[in-house]
Amino acid sequence: MDNRLHEFEKGHEAFQKVKFNQSKERFKKLVSEGQNPKALFIGCSDSRVMPAMITGSNPGDLFIVRNIGNFVAPYKPDADYHATASAIEYAVSILEVSDIIVCGHSHCGAIEALYKDIEETPENIHTIKWLELGQEAKKVAMLAYKKDDKETMLRYTEKISVVYQLDNLLTYPGVKKRVEEGTLFLHGWYYHMEHGDIEYYDDDNYEFKPLTQK
């Protein structure tokens, strides 16, 4: 194996010897009975954000989708490839999860990129297009904060972007139908990498509040 991945090889070895053996029966049950996750977790691909770690979840608990910026593209019924959309449909219609969590985080590279003048090239054409999903949040943040308060503006953009992604989820027929039926619930979370806290979006008061005080 490539020496650059040696630490991952050792980590896998430790997993087999300790963690897998500790939960061997659980893994066997997941194989024989299939998956029945409690929620769909839509998070950022940022390597510093670990969904299972910050939620304390176990194998089989979360159906996880990760992409740049934890964005949700609006429903688009065409014949193209839509990875995030497909995962949403599968989780809602096939796995029948009861909850969807859209989790943003502090110091998000995708949100910061919204404020940079990035030249489009063949190497980043898909990324530039994908970042369009954060533009509405950027517009709101720029109206609320002055450019000289950049850090505050970035944190606000990260949070308000989560709200826009929740709105985009409701453009999916399956999501909208089940939300209206009361069998599916949407949640907006914001993870602070600095101190490990999570805030949730209170749509009654239009603000983020500490998750642990719910």
What are 178-210's pLDDT values in tens digits? 999 999 999 999 999 999 999 999 999 999 999
Radius of gyration of the chain (CA): 19
Residue 14 and residue 77 in one domain: no
Residue 6 and residue 45 in one domain: no
CATH code of the domain containing 122: 3.40.1050.10
Residue 20 and residue 83 in one domain: no
**Is the pLDDT assigned to residue 15 strictly greater than 80?**
yes
What is the residue range of 13's domain? 1-33
Residue 41 and residue 133 in one domain: yes
* pLDDT score for 202: 97
What are 58-102's pLDDT values in tens digits? 999 999 999 999 999 999 999 899 999 999 999 999 999 999 999
Residue 109 and residue 24 in one domain: no
**Is the pLDDT assigned to residue 165 strictly greater than 90?**
yes
With 0-12 / 13-18 / 19 or more C-beta atoms within 10 angstroms meaning exposed / middle / buried, residue 78 is exposed
Residue 12 and residue 54 in one domain: no
Q: From CA 66, how far away is CA 72, in angstroms rounded?
A: 10
Q: From CA 121, how far away is CA 20, in angstroms rounded?
A: 44
Taking residue 214's Cβ as centre, other Cβ atoms within 10 Å add up to 7
Domain count for the chain, please give it: 2
Residue 207 and residue 154 in one domain: yes
Residue 80 and residue 18 in one domain: no
Residue 70 and residue 108 in one domain: yes
